[in-house]
Amino acid sequence: MAAHIVVHEVGVPYESRPLSLTKGEQHSPAYRALNAEGKVPTLVIDGRPLTEVAAILYYLARQFPAAGLLPPGVEAQAHAISWMSFIASTLHTARLQGLEHIRAMWKIADQKLGAQEWAVGSYSIADIHLFKLYWRLVRSVKLEPGAYSNLSAHHERMMQRAAVRRTIEIESALDYELPAFPTS
């Protein structure tokens, strides 16, 4: 979803080939020939695969700078990459360690975001990456009302973006299933 949002933000033509993770389609020989790890997403650039969400988002943001998806300055860009590393290594993997751990890690994310409008000051690929996982969380786990007020406000701001709404519309029509979150 995150890469899909970015291609809509930058306005570049693309071809999407959805895979069902629940059905294990990412482990097919054809997909493994493209991405040996069998992970999604994979962006194919002139016949060469680029894997990992953070790398794909960074590539697209750098390739299409007019979209403004990277903050100006090396330090701000490093903070965007720091956020994406935290999202990939901490938030994304939290679901493997149970619901209590999920809640604890998302509490850290909520505190880290704070009351600021965007993760690194201006709207960036870090916000898109964060939104993708939070969007999935709120649809998969019963959250206590007000548990993550900063993330909820961020989610609402993201839902106002045309690229986000368009991506959700397209992906909802695909009706593919994602692996379940733990219930305890």
- Summarize pLDDT for 82-136 with one digit per residue, the tens: 999 999 999 999 988 888 999 999 999 999 999 999 999 999 999 999 999 999 8
Number of domains in the chain: 1
Report the predicted TM-score, pTM, of the whole model to 2 decimal places: 0.91
Q: Does residue 52 lie in a domain region?
A: yes
How many whole angstroms separate alpha carbon 56 and alpha carbon 157?
23
User: For residue 51, what are the domain limits?
Assistant: 2-174
The pLDDT, as a whole number, for residue 176 is 57
- Straight-line distance from the first to the last Cα atom of the chain, in angstroms, rounded to the nearest whole number: 26
Q: Does residue 95 lie in a domain region?
A: yes
| Cβ 157 vs Cβ 128: under 8 Å | no
Q: Does residue 69 lie in a domain region?
A: yes
Confidence of residue 19 (pLDDT cuts 50, 70, 90): confident
- The secondary structure element, H or E, covering residue 48 is strand 48-51
Q: Does residue 180 lie in a domain region?
A: no
Nearest to 11 by CA among 154, 130, 163, 135: 163
Q: Does residue 184 lie in a domain region?
A: no
User: Tens digits of per-residue pLDDT, 43-96?
Assistant: 999 999 999 999 999 999 999 999 999 999 999 999 999 999 999 999 999 988
Domain of 88, CATH number, reads: 1.20.1050.130
